[in-house]
Every structure is written in C-alpha cells, then in structure tokens.
C-alpha cells in the first residue's frame, strides 16, 4: 500500500511539472502590502483591483467622442486585469526595503525581464533606496507581452502597478492616467498632465 501511494504521488508530481511547463505562470503579482495601508504615517493610499469584467464595464463609461477613449476600449479587450497599490507617507522610513524586495523577487528571469532599472546612489532614502528608484519589467512568451509591472520607490512613497494581459509599450502610454495607473516620469506633461490632475494622481 505504501509503495502504491508513493508511486501515485510521484506520478502526480510529474504531471504537475509537465502542466507548469505547458502553461505559463500568471503575470499577476502577489501583493503583501496591506499592512502599509494601516500605518499611522500613511496620508494617501490608492488600491485598484480590476479584472477583465470590471475593465470592460468601466471602459464602456468612457466618452464615445473621445479619441483616447476609443484607444482605451480597444486596449482593454486584451487585458485580464489591472492592479495598483500606491502609498504616500508623512515621513521617510515608514516602509522598509523588505516591502520592495517582496515584489522584486517575483520579477525574475526567465519569466520576467526588466527593461528599465533605475538606482540612485546619492541621497538614499530611509527605506533603503535612493529617491526615484524604479523598475519596469515585462512578462513575455513567444515574443508577446503577457504582463507588465512597475515598481516606483521614493523615500515617502511606494507605488506598484501590475497589468495582466496582452499589450504593447505604446499602449501603456494610453493607459496612463486611467484606472489608477500613474504617468511615467519624464514623459511630456503637456499631453498627460490634464488627465493626472483630474484624477488627482501624481506623476511618476
């Protein structure tokens, strides 16, 4: 009986390994940042959790005559989810480097490739990072983008954006300012600033 059980468990393990190689892991990150929202030093939080159904519903509310809205509606058809966690604090050191590394450890090769990594050496924040540090990583398979992650770190602010689904880098700029997704630092503010102001979001 023990031998039969051992063989069965071995067979199940083999099947699980084959299944994991045949089907790619999800591009959805695991967020463990709820404790930051309860911090006495937090002054603003953004928590966005939108699956494909909610994305479709919200996109239907966009103005029909807006050219940008038409792009968003088309883009949403290829998305499975949009997840944003953003925290602003009233002082430095309100979150730790462990909070950041818990996210970064998920963004490793070969599943993920980080196309942008910004690290500053001077003026390091008390969270263990320099002001303005950032990671932009892609989840790809067969040349297609299956997901995107952005981790933006500042001494008094931490933002994580996770987009799950098929999209192009050009389409990412169309999403900025929508669904809680912040604008990337260094972009032309003349075209994106109005959306950011209306949404009450800062640029990153």
Q: pLDDT, tens digit, for every residue of 27-71?
A: 899 888 989 999 999 999 999 999 989 988 887 887 878 777 777
How far separated are the first and last CA of the chain, in Å rounded?
A: 60
Maximum distance among all Cα pairs of the chain, rounded to whole angstroms: 72
Least confident of 12-21, 89-98, 119-128: 12-21
Query: What is d(CA 128, CA 59) in angstroms, rounded to the nearest whole number?
Result: 38
CA distances from residue 140 to 14, 99, 114, 124 in whole angstroms, order as listed: 25, 25, 11, 32
Residue 118 pLDDT more than 80? Answer: yes
Query: What is d(CA 24, CA 30) in angstroms, rounded to the nearest whole number?
Result: 16
> 165 pairs with which residues across the strands?
79
Can you read off the two tokens belonging to residue 122? 């001077």
Can you read off the two tokens belonging to residue 43? 């002054």
Q: How many CB atoms lie within 10 A of CB 111?
A: 17
Query: Taking each helix axis from N to C terminus, what angle separates 67-76 and 52-59, rounded to the nearest 10 degrees?
Result: 160
Average pLDDT over residues 106-128: 76
- pLDDT > 90 fraction of the chain, expressed in percent and rounded: 34
Average pLDDT over residues 185-192: 42
More confident residue, 195 or 37: 37
pTM here is 0.70
| 68-108 residue pLDDT tens | 777 778 788 888 999 999 999 999 989 988 999 999 999 99
Question: Which backbone phi and psi does 156 adopt, to 5 degrees?
Answer: -115, 15
> 144 pairs with which residues across the strands?
141
Q: Which of 48, 36, 31 is nearest to 102 (CA)?
A: 31
Residue 17 pLDDT more than 70? Answer: no
Quote the mean pLDDT of the chain: 74
Average pLDDT over residues 121-128: 50
What is the model's pLDDT at position 192?
40
Query: What is d(CA 184, CA 202) in angstroms, rounded to the nearest whole number?
Result: 10
What is the model's pLDDT at position 186?
43
Query: What is d(CA 89, CA 92) in angstroms, rounded to the nearest whole number?
Result: 7
């Amino acid at each position: 009986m023990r031998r039969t059980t051992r063989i069965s468990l071995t067979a199940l393990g083999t099947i699980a390994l084959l299944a994991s190689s045949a089907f790619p892991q999800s591009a959805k990150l695991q967020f463990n940042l709820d404790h930051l929202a309860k911090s006495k030093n937090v002054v603003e939080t953004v928590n966005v959790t939108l699956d494909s159904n909610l994305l479709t519903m919200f996109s239907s509310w966009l103005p029909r005559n807006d050219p940008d809205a038409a792009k968003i509606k088309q883009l949403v058809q290829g998305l499975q989810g949009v997840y944003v966690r953003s925290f602003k604090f009233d002082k430095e050191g309100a979150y730790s480097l462990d909070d950041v590394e818990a996210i970064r450890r998920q963004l490793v090769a070969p599943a993920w490739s980080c196309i942008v990594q910004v690290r500053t050496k001077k003026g390091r924040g008390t969270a263990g990072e320099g002001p303005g540090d950032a990671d932009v990583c892609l989840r790809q398979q067969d040349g297609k983008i299956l997901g995107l992650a952005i981790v933006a770190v500042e001494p008094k602010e931490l933002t994580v954006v996770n987009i799950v689904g098929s999209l192009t880098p050009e389409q990412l700029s169309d999403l900025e300012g929508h669904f809680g997704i912040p604008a990337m630092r260094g972009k032309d503010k003349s075209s994106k600033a109005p959306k950011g102001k209306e949404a009450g979001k800062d640029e990153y």
